[in-house]
Amino acid sequence: MNPALRKTAFLLVAGAVLAGAIALKAPAFGYAADDAAPVYVTKIPNGFRDWRLISVAHEEGNLHSFAAMLGNDVAIEAYRDGKLPYPDGTIIAALHYGHVASEENDKVFGDPQSFVPGPPTNTQFMVKDSKKYAATGGWGFGHFNKDGSLGTEAQLKTCFPCHAKASRDFVFTNYAP
């Protein structure tokens, strides 16, 4: 090959590699990439409130919290198939509310025994992308306040160390049949 052709071939190959790299960086799972904070989930995934149910949860201690965990299609399939680790594209949403007594229900039952979701408190997400979030077990973590704003860096950096203690690929929640 003469030097001019060799240079042209090099540029073509370099261009193709660059194009591939750009394609790999494009958001693939319905959330937008944010280069300023690449280790966290910084945009609320579209349509999460329509996702199917994984399970429910209730935290006491200082939290008095009620949660519903929803999953996108990749998450629900992985849960139902018992697939571990969760595949890239998995998104798990945790919708948190206060855990409050229902005055209306308690009047009907005749006893204080019925608890329902109070006002929403926050919504959290785990997004599996083994390349983008390689430094945190392949999971990106997101915390959004009730007004939809992103949690602080101080909040966001507490997610991974705690989920690192979960026994099933950084996930605490089991599937409720």
Binding site for a copy of itself (CB under 8 A): 49-53, 55-61, 63, 66-68, 70, 95, 97, 99, 102, 104-105, 108-109, 111, 113-117, 120, 162, 165-167, 172-174, 176-177
Shortest distance, CB of residue 158 to a copy of itself, whole angstroms?
A: 12
**What are residue 95's DSSP bridge partners?**
68, 123
Q: 111 vs 153, which CB is nearer to a copy of itself?
A: 111
Shortest distance, CB of residue 50 to a copy of itself, whole angstroms?
A: 6
Q: 130 vs 174, which CB is nearer to a copy of itself?
A: 174
Distance CA 13, CA 177 (A): 51
- Alpha carbon 81 to its chain's center: 19
Q: 70 vs 156, which CB is nearer to a copy of itself?
A: 70
Contact (Cβ atoms closer than 8 angstroms) between residue 48 and residue 71: no
Distances (CA, A) of 154 to 24, 101, 118, 160: 29, 31, 25, 12
Q: 3 vs 61, which CB is nearer to a copy of itself?
A: 61
**What are residue 46's DSSP bridge partners?**
none
Of 33, 39, 32, nearest to 156 (Cα)?
A: 39
Shortest distance, CB of residue 34 to a copy of itself, whole angstroms?
A: 25
